[in-house]
Chains A and B, each alone.
Chain A
Amino acid sequence: MTWWTIPVIGLLTFAIRAVFVLLPPSPRIERLRPALLALPIAVMPVLATSSLIASGIDPSKVVGVIVAAIVALTTRSTAGAMAAGLVAFWIGRALTGEM
């Protein structure tokens, strides 16, 4: 990662956050509202898939991911889902003797 990557991302993120605070909102932006708000819905599962593949798939991780997904979908708690997934992953590792 180059030294300027994070400052540039920070600057662009700030520009996105401030765009309509500093400039008058365009009526056209309303038409893009569903697409913009749906971006995380499309991006997060892809990031989950790619980072899982990158970290290497094993049975304990699959169990962890399934438990995290179930908890996230049922409780809507990000922290709870992460905690449950991690605990399931550790239990899986302990049972397979990897930890």
Chain B
Amino acid sequence: MWLRPKHLVNMDSVDSTLPPRTRLAMFFRGMRRCGPIAVSAIPFGAAAGIAAADVGMSPLEASAMSLLIFAGASQLAVLELAKTGAPPVVMVLVAVTINLRFAMYSAALSTWAKSTRRSIRILLAYMLTDQAFAVTTNALLAGEVGSTSARTADSTATDAAAPPDEDMRDDTVVFYAGAAIALWVAWQFGTLAGAIAGLQAPEGLGIDFIAPLAFVALAGTAIRTRFDVVGATASVATFLLLSNLPYGLALIPAAIIGVSAREIARRALGVSA
């Protein structure tokens, strides 16, 4: 039953179960696939920790922030706004704006975890990140998960006889869980290490420059097409024009203008995706 093939794209058809050994193998496969990305997330987490130390947070407070929010770009943005004395409402608005993209990932996760228990789904949703989502999507596209071959590679006759598990029935969601946990651990470690290092870093090292660098790095890796360049340019230009607005409020109209400009450019050139 659990070897039944399913279509890669139409995840609605997923209703199979995984034997325990295969489930564990899939989990570690997800961890391994996300490993290099998780390692590279440590310096970025450290940047968030350093930025937290820079606004006067203790390592414990920085870790609490990472545990509660667990979203690097918005954490850094909130800390930058805190430095400028922005009101809490602005911080909340900016963080929500940055994190709205997670709603799209949430829609994908709902199909991967369709047959998973509600409590587990909630936990998996908490750990949604760009990286874990990308790694799982790539694995799906490559047929590494969500396919018969992915299951037979790690299965034995003993597995086939094992009773079905009610918590996690699909290899995609187990793979995703491995990737997400690897990233979560790396991020929490990075933040704590950064917060501790930030308190002890000498003045000359320029730790206040870490946050701008992190944003430049994030922007550089996010920009992939000419439409992205149009959106990024429009948003920065809008921000600079409205930079007299207090508390970084210009970010909201800048984001709206940037996204709109990108969309207009995309439609003007007749690109549908």
Q: Which residues 176-210 in B have Cβ within 8 Å of A in the complex?
A: 204-206, 208-210
Assess A5 versus B88: contact at CB under 8 Å? Given A16-B102, A36-B103.
Answer: yes
Residues of A within 8 A of B47 (CB): 82
Q: Which residues 86-123 in B have Cβ within 8 Å of A in the complex?
A: 88, 91-92, 95-107, 109-110, 113, 118, 121-122
With beta carbons under 8 angstroms apart, the residue of B41, B70, B126, B216 that contacts A81 is B216
Residues of A within 8 A of B214 (CB): 78, 82
Judge whether B142 is part of the interface by a CB distance below 8 angstroms.
Answer: no
How big is the B interface, by class?
35 or more
With beta carbons under 8 angstroms apart, the residue of A18, A19, A41 that contacts B228 is A41
A40 and B207 CA atoms in complex are apart in Å by 24
Do the beta carbons of B64 and A6 come within 8 Å of each other?
Answer: yes
Do the beta carbons of A69 and B263 come within 8 Å of each other?
Answer: no
Instruction: Name the residue of chain A whose CB is nearest to the CB of B214.
Output: A82
How big is the A interface, by class?
35 or more
Residues of B within 8 A of A64 (CB): 209, 213
Residues of B within 8 A of A42 (CB): 231-232, 234-235, 254-255, 257-259, 262
Q: Which residues 7-35 in A have Cβ within 8 Å of B in the complex?
A: 7-10, 12-14, 16-22, 24-25, 29, 33-35
A18 and B120 CA atoms in complex are apart in Å by 11
Do the beta carbons of A72 and B220 come within 8 Å of each other?
Answer: yes
Interface SS, A side: helix
Judge whether B68 is part of the interface by a CB distance below 8 angstroms.
Answer: yes
Interface SS, B side: helix
Assess A72 versus B217: contact at CB under 8 Å? Given A37-B104, A42-B255, A55-B211.
Answer: yes
Judge whether B128 is part of the interface by a CB distance below 8 angstroms.
Answer: yes
State how many angstroms separate the Cβ of A40 from the closest Cβ of chain B. 5
Judge whether B80 is part of the interface by a CB distance below 8 angstroms.
Answer: yes
Do the beta carbons of B80 and A98 come within 8 Å of each other?
Answer: no
A99 and B258 CA atoms in complex are apart in Å by 38
Do the beta carbons of B122 and A21 come within 8 Å of each other?
Answer: yes
Judge whether B44 is part of the interface by a CB distance below 8 angstroms.
Answer: yes
Do the beta carbons of A14 and B126 come within 8 Å of each other?
Answer: yes
Judge whether B266 is part of the interface by a CB distance below 8 angstroms.
Answer: yes
Do the beta carbons of A13 and B216 come within 8 Å of each other?
Answer: no
Listed residue (A18, A33, A68, A73) with the most chain B CB atoms within 10 angstroms of its CB: A18
Pick 18 A–B contacts, CB within 8 A, sort by A: A2-B88, A5-B91, A17-B128, A20-B107, A24-B110, A29-B104, A34-B266, A38-B228, A39-B101, A39-B259, A42-B231, A43-B255, A45-B235, A72-B218, A78-B41, A82-B210, A90-B206, A93-B206
4 further A-B pairs in the complex, CB-CB below 8 A; given A38-B259, A68-B217:
A6-B65, A18-B106, A43-B73, A82-B214
6 pairs of A and B residues whose beta carbons are closest in the complex: A72-B220, A42-B258, A10-B68, A48-B215, A81-B217, A44-B219
